[in-house]
Structure 1
Amino acid sequence: MATKTVRYTFRLRASARAEAALMREYSLCRAVWNHMVAESRNRHQHRRAFKQSGLSTRYVDQRGMLRDCFEFGYNEASRWLTMLRHALVDEAGRQWLAEGSAVAQQQMVRAFASARRKALMDIKKRVPVSRRRGLPRFKSRRTSFPSLNYSKDGFRLAESDGRTRLRLAGGIVLSVVWSRQLPSLPRSVRVYQDSLGHWYACFVVLLELDAEPGPPSAALGIDWGVATTATTVHVDTSTGQKDFSDSYDLAHPQFGKAAAAELARAQKRMARRRGSKGQPKSKGYVRARREAARVYKRVANRRRDTGHKWARRVVAAHSKIAVEDFRPRFLAKTSMARKSSDAGIALLKGILIWHASVAGVDLQLVDPRYTTTDCANCDARTKHHLPLGQRTYTCESCGVSRPRDKNSAAVMVVRAGFIPGGAEDVRPGVAAVPTRQSEPEIS
């Protein structure tokens, strides 16, 4: 049976003592991160000085491997952490860093090494600066949100008073709001705090993919849009019959528009209470900022909830899904930027792909080029691009007339190869090969 690594997130109820312990643990992990950043920059400066002096920084180790004496990868960072836990002492001679969990600090080192490796890889590959991942920077106490990672040796789920609680290394006990059951024992957990001060636990578990897809002859084409977020066409692949009804369409929920007035009030309060630059923020400003964050999060939760419900319904009824694959970021450069961002197309697309992979549904990402100018009935292509104001597609060859987005959704199914011969058995199958070479059309 196939398996897949998934994450389950639950709300945590942390007492005042537990929250203080978590903040203490994170402060120690943040100190480890900042020491790693300082050491990495220090070694970089030494390497630059050596190269300017004409000296080589390479050497051959005991195993005959060529290495850099200023290398600071995961192994070197782990040894540096061991040294720090013994070397950092306070005025009383107490090893204050060693009082924290070694598991959480080791995971912080792993995250630092991973971030540094990705940034150096982007520099080596000459990725444009606008898309390049930056090197790790210092974490500030005021601007960074607490986040702790624990491997399976640093936590356990224990029964206490008839409830299953999360016990972390260091004797930290947290109550979990179990909204659903875990499919298997977690392999790791991430405990973090959001901008509202709420604590969450994200468990990494191994999920067995035992769900069965929908009917084998049921296929669905999905075209992303702005007026209607997802326009769909149901196709019976055995007969080629298309259903252009709105059964699986997803209307634009406009959650952001509904919360715009409340968000504007919160942002105005933030602007009035911001104070002078460089001065500490007042309590009123912090309250206004938290209120704005609460509005943002409520909108995000509604979008995510709507997306999961729609994706589950679509995946349960189809065994093949053809999805338009285009960059929603492209719409951010148009006059429809606000409405397209409110639709959350990228989020919906990711949720649909995840549900399809879990359910074993054949999902194909289709190249969106010319999907608005091709006919789903005869494969003819119009000689001109359709303006956005023209919402009805009329084929110049066969005379078929249907809504523009519905026609595009039907083209997705044909291009994905679910109907190899096309509707009239006159068109060869076209592979759905996603491309990023040109800007997609808006449909």
Structure 2
Amino acid sequence: MADRERLSVVQAYRFALDVTPRQERVVLAHAGAARVAHNWALARVRAVMDQRAAERSYGIPDESTSPPRLVGLCRRCVERGIGRSPMWHRGGPECSKEAFNTGLDALARGLKNWSDSRTGKRAGRRVGFPRFKSRRHSTPSVRFTTGAIRVEPDRRHVVLPRLGRLKLHESARKLARRLEAGTARILSATVRRDGGRWYVAFCVDVDRAARTPHQPQAVVGVDLGVTHLAVVSTGEVEPNPRYLDAAACRLRRLARRMSRGVGPDRRTGRRGSKRWERASARLGRAHARVAHLRRDGLHKLTTRLAAEYGTIVVEDLNVSGMLANRRLARRVADAGFAELRRQLAYKAGWSGGRLVVADRWYPSSKTCSGCGAVKTKLALSERTYTCTTCGLVLDRDVNAARNLAALAVTVAGSGPETRNGRGADRKTRPGGLVAVKRQPGTATAGNTGTVPPQGRTSNHELTHAS
């Protein structure tokens, strides 16, 4: 198998840390140095931009000022002030230079995103100008790209520059095996606090062996919803666990307990009491647990779908518009539609399959999967689809999933889903994933002929496929 084709990808390995109080102080010092460097460079960038704006108001043409690129402007400010600024020595001798580079790199990326959003190079919602980071509200984080970054032979400790030997809460055997085999190379390590716990995330360049799905010719449509998280055209139904609703009572109780404490007041400079800090930490851990459960469930579902089927068809949902509905916003956000689609996009490529994204305006729910007739209106409360043309009676979500699976036949030969500059999934291109409307009566309800064969895998086998 030495000549087997391999795929080089960049992926992250994230592990929880068990840091000592002294190590936590050192990590917080590095995160504080990154925040100070970010604010220090941002102040100088804003000063230069204000000066350029004043020069233009005086009638000085832009050609005379020769404005540099925004990303280079940040680095030029650093080069001019790196030796004179006391910021560089504020972190003390225990802070690594990588801490300051973390803040400067974050500012450079923020300026680039803002500039690309203004010029139309970046799709999606408008990106605002970078703002100063607050010590209280910003998430402590520091990234290391150089120095001693390794996993110890016992696979229970990692070594980072200036931080030394840190104990892992779980074993890093999966990453250690790849490093020992020479199929992985660590690019960077990021230490970040999330939900009251410290984590280390390794950005790794991995050589993955090329894989093939268990059913490479099978085509399935996946209809996402709130009642059921996902309904597959094979009839498999993935229930919506609704982790946020399950933890709602505990979250409300912790929030009330925190509101009764003496919190911080920025106007008077008052700090929060110890009881308020403990209550705030408990509430943060409760929210983090909900997020972890949601992420774990989505990973298991997407891994199983990508490893089983060769072609997966999903819808391009208008999630931002769905969040505007105050009756469904909380449950739509709890489902994580965008995260599910993002995971399917890269896991389908890893498994040797492809992901097809249907057009946002494709009427998958209104179209009959038997004869192709399209209803003019279909209320959200109608959970059973009844076709007045051929008499087909089917669950609404299963009918939509079958239509999505049939759509893949009309766009056969299209490649895997591409990504745009902002890292999000690109919208349907003209002439790409376009649904072909069938004339009513072209197929019967008993023998549709529109959905490709799904194989003979039962739901029980799908559950234990991985």
Counterpart mapping for 1:288-299 below 5 A: 288-299=279-290
Q: Which residue of 1 aligns with 2:463?
A: none
Structure 1: runs of 5 or more not aligned: 61-66, 235-244, 421-429, 435-443
Counterpart mapping for 1:20-31 below 5 A: 20-31=25-36
Q: Which residue of 2 aligns with 1:50?
A: 55
Q: Which residue of 1 aligns with 2:130?
A: 136
Match of 2:171 among 174, 178, 198: 178
Counterpart AA for 2:230: A
Counterpart AA for 2:29: R
* 1:377 CA drift (Å): 1.9
Query: How many residue pairs are counted as aligned between the two chains?
Result: 397
The answer on 1:415 being equivalent to 2:414 is no
Q: Which residue of 1 aligns with 2:438?
A: none
Distance 1:147 1:316, change over 3 A: same
Match of 1:253 among 231, 237, 241: 241
Counterpart mapping for 1:8-407 below 5 A: 8-59=13-64, 67-68=66-67, 71=68, 73-89=70-86, 95-96=89-90, 99=93, 100-125=95-120, 131-151=125-145, 153-157=146-150, 159=152, 162-163=154-155, 165-170=157-162, 172-176=164-168, 177-182=170-175, 183=178, 184-196=184-196, 198-209=197-208, 210-234=210-234, 245-246=235-236, 249-275=237-263, 277=265, 278=267, 279-334=270-325, 335-368=327-360, 369-382=362-375, 384-407=376-399
Q: Is the CA contact 1:155–1:166 (under 8 Å) kept in the aligned structure 2?
A: no
Distance 1:124 1:352, change over 3 A: closer
* 1:264 CA drift (Å): 0.6
* 1:398 CA drift (Å): 2.1
* 1:289 CA drift (Å): 1.6
* 1:265 CA drift (Å): 0.4
The superposition leaves residues 271-303 of structure 1 with CA deviations (integer Å, 9 ceiling, x where unpaired) of 222558433222222222221111111111111
Counterpart AA for 2:246: A
The superposition leaves residues 24-64 of structure 1 with CA deviations (integer Å, 9 ceiling, x where unpaired) of 2222222211111110111111111111111235359xxxx
The superposition leaves residues 173-208 of structure 1 with CA deviations (integer Å, 9 ceiling, x where unpaired) of 322333541241211111111241x11111111233
* 1:214 CA drift (Å): 2.2
Distance 1:105 1:14, change over 3 A: same
Structure 1 runs of 4+ aligned residues shifted over 4 Å read 94-98, 274-277
RMSD of equivalent CA atoms: 2.7
Q: Structure 1 CA distance, aligned partners of 2:246 and 2:147? A: 43
* 1:213 CA drift (Å): 1.4
Q: Is the CA contact 1:219–1:418 (under 8 Å) kept in the aligned structure 2?
A: no
Task: Provide the secondary structure at the position in 2 that maps to 1:372.
Answer: coil
Q: Which residue of 1 aligns with 2:420?
A: none
* 1:89 CA drift (Å): 4.2
Task: Provide the secondary structure at the position in 1 that maps to 2:320.
Answer: helix
Q: Which residue of 1 aligns with 2:455?
A: none
Counterpart AA for 1:149: R
Q: Structure 2 CA distance, aligned partners of 1:373 and 1:354? A: 30
Q: Identity of aligned pairs, percent? A: 28
Task: Provide the secondary structure at the position in 1 that maps to 2:255.
Answer: helix
* 1:98 CA drift (Å): 7.8
Q: Structure 2 CA distance, aligned partners of 1:55 and 1:333? A: 46
Q: Which residue of 1 aligns with 2:415?
A: none
Distance 1:21 1:415, change over 3 A: same
Structure 2: runs of 5 or more not aligned: 1-5, 179-183, 413-430, 436-466
Distance 1:412 1:158, change over 3 A: closer
Q: Which residue of 1 aligns with 2:454?
A: none
Counterpart AA for 1:104: A
Q: Structure 2 CA distance, aligned partners of 1:349 and 1:17? A: 41
Distance 1:131 1:171, change over 3 A: closer
Q: Is the CA contact 2:141–2:190 (under 8 Å) kept in the aligned structure 1?
A: yes
The superposition leaves residues 128-164 of structure 1 with CA deviations (integer Å, 9 ceiling, x where unpaired) of 9x9321222212222212111111x23411537x456
Q: Structure 2 CA distance, aligned partners of 1:297 and 1:397? A: 50
Counterpart AA for 1:23: L
Q: Structure 2 CA distance, aligned partners of 1:170 and 1:355? A: 35
Q: Is the CA contact 1:87–1:95 (under 8 Å) kept in the aligned structure 2?
A: no
**TM-score between both structures, scaled by the size of structure 2:** 0.78
Task: Provide the secondary structure at the position in 1 that maps to 2:390.
Answer: coil
Counterpart AA for 1:231: V
Counterpart AA for 1:80: C
The superposition leaves residues 246-284 of structure 1 with CA deviations (integer Å, 9 ceiling, x where unpaired) of 3xx211112111111101101111222255843322222
Counterpart AA for 1:312: T
Counterpart AA for 1:300: A
Counterpart AA for 2:104: V
Q: Is the CA contact 2:155–2:173 (under 8 Å) kept in the aligned structure 1?
A: no
Distance 1:24 1:333, change over 3 A: closer
